[in-house]
Structure 1
Amino acid sequence: MDPLTEQDIRTSFVNCTKGEAKRLSVPRDLLDRPWGDLDFLGWRDPQAPDRAYLVLGSGEGPVGIQLRSSDAGSWQTRRSMCSLCVTVHTGGVSLLVAPRAGKAGQQGNSVGAYMCTDLACSLYVRGKKDAGVGSRLRESLTLEQQIERTVMNVEAFIARVTG
């Protein structure tokens, strides 16, 4: 993924108002992010732990979505799998819900998926971050194919938000 600026990030959001995009907390460590290892930029809002954001670079420019979690602690002891990167976590997967873009979102419609709580899917797939014993299943897919699958899963989720 190509490095993104704060302005790139703020203008990329498709499922929130311009005012909300202007007020959201952008990571302060953008220069230090491992951009070469990222397929998308994902982060949790340190000021509002129930909020998360995901920005995917695309040929038409970055596309960002805001997410909310409903972490009620029920996932802290159960093993769950991220639907984006297929990493298994104990307590590290959350149901993240995104309001749909446009009029559907204004009417309260949303879509959700189980995702890595820290949104570090790219790093888990590449083995740069460890989710613990048994977190990565043995697969016959190459690393490149696993990365491609993760990107396709993110694109499919964004398509559900924008469609």
Structure 2
Amino acid sequence: MRTLDAAQIRASFTNVSLRERKAVAIPDLDAVAWDDIDYLGWRDPKMPLVGYVVTIVDDEPIGFLMRQAEQTPLRRTQCVWCADVTLPNEVVMFSTKRAGAAGRRGDTVGTYVCAQFECNRNARSTPRTAYLGFDVEAARQSRIAAFRATVERFARDVGATS
């Protein structure tokens, strides 16, 4: 992902009001390893059920506010984005308003995502060797590509203004 500054991040949010956009708590951008992520995701320190995601789609940053469901899943759930089968962290249901008129009508999209947005790390972890001759690096790159496509598809779905 390319490096973004606070102004670019704030301007990228598609499903928030102007007031909400100004109130977004931006994380420490100097601590972000931009080359190792496909999206920037963080939780709001003042609102524990709110998270933010910014990714690049068609060379433009797209950001959206996500709200965690208050009830946690009854069973361990796999993250839809990184699809990590080892379940190294908690996965929760997030919902987000669609952009534009659809969002103003209350249309939302939901998905199961790593609770603290650990997907970038999980998708890049080295998979276990499945069989003799298994190409671990090819499997890792394939998982990263699938992860990128899933996040981009979700961002496009949120940004669809119909």
Q: Into which bin does the TM-score normalised by the smaller protein fall?
A: 0.7 to 0.9
2:82 match: 85
Contact 1:38 1:122 in 2 (8 A): yes
With over 3 angstroms needed to count, the CA separation of the structure-2 counterparts of 1:74 and 1:99, relative to structure 1, is same
Contact 2:97 2:158 in 1 (8 A): yes
Structure 1 residue 60: Cα displacement: 3.4
1:6 match: 6
Structure 1 residue 114: Cα displacement: 0.5
The gaps in structure 1 that reach 5 residues or longer are 129-135
* CA displacement 1:81-123 (0-9 Å, x = unmatched): 0000101427610111010111110111100000111112111
CA separation in 2, counterparts of 1:81 and 1:17? Answer: 31
Among residues 140, 143, 148, which one is paired with 2:140 in the alignment?
Answer: 143
CA separation in 1, counterparts of 2:124 and 2:154? Answer: 21
Structure 1 residue 18: Cα displacement: 2.1
1:25 match: 25
* CA displacement 1:1-20 (0-9 Å, x = unmatched): 11211111000011111221
Contact 1:43 1:119 in 2 (8 A): yes
CA separation in 1, counterparts of 2:67 and 2:156? Answer: 17
3-state SS of 1:48 partner:
coil
Contact 2:109 2:158 in 1 (8 A): yes
The higher radius of gyration belongs to: 2
CA separation in 1, counterparts of 2:15 and 2:3? Answer: 22
CA separation in 2, counterparts of 1:123 and 1:162? Answer: 25
2:53 match: 54
Moved over 4 A (4+): 136-141
Structure 1 residue 36: Cα displacement: 1.3
The gaps in structure 2 that reach 5 residues or longer are none
Contact 1:99 1:108 in 2 (8 A): yes
Among residues 150, 153, 156, which one is paired with 1:153 in the alignment?
Answer: 150
CA separation in 2, counterparts of 1:90 and 1:57? Answer: 26
2:97 match: 99
3-state SS of 2:43 partner:
strand
CA separation in 1, counterparts of 2:56 and 2:81? Answer: 16
Contact 1:87 1:137 in 2 (8 A): no
